[in-house]
Amino acid sequence: MLGVFAWSGLLVQYLVLWVLPLVTVVQAILRLRAIAEHGATTDFSSPLTAARTNVAPAWLGWLIFPHHVNYHIEHHLYASVPHYHLPELHREMTQRGVLEGAEVTAFVVTLKKIFSEKRKNPTSASPSGASAS
């Protein structure tokens, strides 16, 4: 394959436009998406709380969540539903109240939840400056 690109004079373009993004930015986007779908979930007793549906503007959905994978709870519950029907499934589940108690949130809220600094519990911190007598 590389020989074909080299022969056609497009080897540099192939490496810069396909291989370089694949080993750099695409990996970061995939990691961010996986964290957004499952990161910081604490209740694994129900499919409604073990994953997250992220609501995002269309441009962000195109970049981070192609094929409507932002409807992740819906995907887990109904894996046989084609990706192009997930928005419709989400609307139907919302109208019927199926997603009550599920984590359906804006992507920016998800990012704040995942990347916010965890504060120590004030009661568990040892007093500063205490000396043993």
pLDDT (mean) for 72-82: 96
54: Cβ–Cβ under 8 A, 6 or more apart, which residues?
36, 37, 65, 70, 72, 105, 106, 107, 110
Answer yes or no: pTM beyond 0.85: no
Q: Is the pLDDT of residue 131 over 60?
A: no
Residue 118 has what pLDDT?
Answer: 67
pLDDT, tens digit (0-9, with 9 covering 90-100), for 3-51:
887 888 888 888 888 889 889 999 999 999 999 999 888 788 888 999 9
Task: Give alpha helix (H) positions in 1-133.
Answer: 2-8, 11-14, 20-23, 25-38, 47-50, 58-64, 72-77, 86-95, 107-115
C-beta of residue 86 within 8 angstroms of C-beta of residue 79? no
Those residues with Cβ within 8 angstroms of residue 114's Cβ, 6 or more apart along the chain or in another chain: 35, 36, 39, 40
Residue 66 has pLDDT above 90, yes or no: yes
- What is the β-pairing status of strands 53-55 and 104-106? parallel
